[in-house]
Amino acid sequence: MSAAAACPQLLADTFLHVLEEAAFVFAEPTGSPGPFGGELVEATLAWSGPGAAELRVVVERGFAAALAASLVGEDEPDHARAGDAVGELLNIAAGTVAHVLSGGAETQLGVPRVRALAQEAWTAERDVAQHAVSLLEEHGHRIDVTLSEAEAGAAR
C-alpha cells in the first residue's frame, strides 16, 4: 500500500492513540460525522524534509476546553488554554505522522499555529485537503484531521 493510500489510516490511528494516551479521551473513526456545533478551534503544524506536509486538527471550542482540562487531569473545562491544548495534541501527533511519512528520515517540525474558525470556512478547507478523517469521541464530539503535502522546504 502506498504512503498516500495509507494516510487516512495513519492519521486516524495516530490521533486515536494520542487522544487516549495524553488526554484519556476515547474516540473512533467515523465516515459520517454530524455537523460541528458552535465556534471551532483549528491547529496547524507543518514540517519540512522528506514527506513535508501540513497537518491540521479541528474541534469545537467547548470540546477544546474539555481537552485542556483532561490533559492535566482537571475536571473543569479550561477555556483559557483551549487553543494551546489543541496545538499541543497536534504537536504530539505530528511527531509520529512526520516520522512515518518521511520514511524515518530527519524532518524539521514547525510550531503549532492556532486560530478560531467558523464552520463554513472549515468545510471549504476540509474539502480541498488531500487527506481527511473524522473521529467521534465517546460523548459525540467530532474531531477532524487533515493532511496536505507542503511546498518543498516549508516548515513554519
Count of residues that bind another protein according to CB under 8 A: 28
Q: Which stretch binds another protein (CB under 8 A): 17-25, 28-36, 53-61, 142-150?
A: 17-25
Taking CB under 8 A as the criterion, the residue among 3, 105, 116, 124 binding another protein is 105
Taking CB under 8 A as the criterion, the residue among 29, 51, 77, 110 binding another protein is 110
Instruction: Convert residues 23-62 into a mask of x (bound to another protein by CB under 8 A) and - (unbound).
Output: ----------------------------------------
Nearer to another protein, 6 or 22 (CB): 22
Contact at 8 Å (CB) between 16 and 28? yes
Q: Does 91 bind another protein (CB under 8 A)?
A: yes
Buried b (16+ CB within 10 A) or exposed e, 123-142: eebeeebebbbbbbbeeebb
Contacts of residue 52, Cβ cutoff 8 Å, sequence gap at least 6: 46, 107, 149, 150, 151, 152, 153, 154, 155
Distance CA 56, CA 64 (A): 14
Contact at 8 Å (CB) between 89 and 57? yes
C-alpha cell at 148: 496536505
Taking CB under 8 A as the criterion, the residue among 3, 28, 39, 106 binding another protein is 106
Dihedrals phi, psi of 8, to nearest 5 degrees: -55, -40
**Chain residues that interact with another protein, rule: CB under 8 A:** 17-18, 21-22, 68, 71-73, 81, 84-85, 87-88, 91-96, 99, 102, 104-107, 109-111
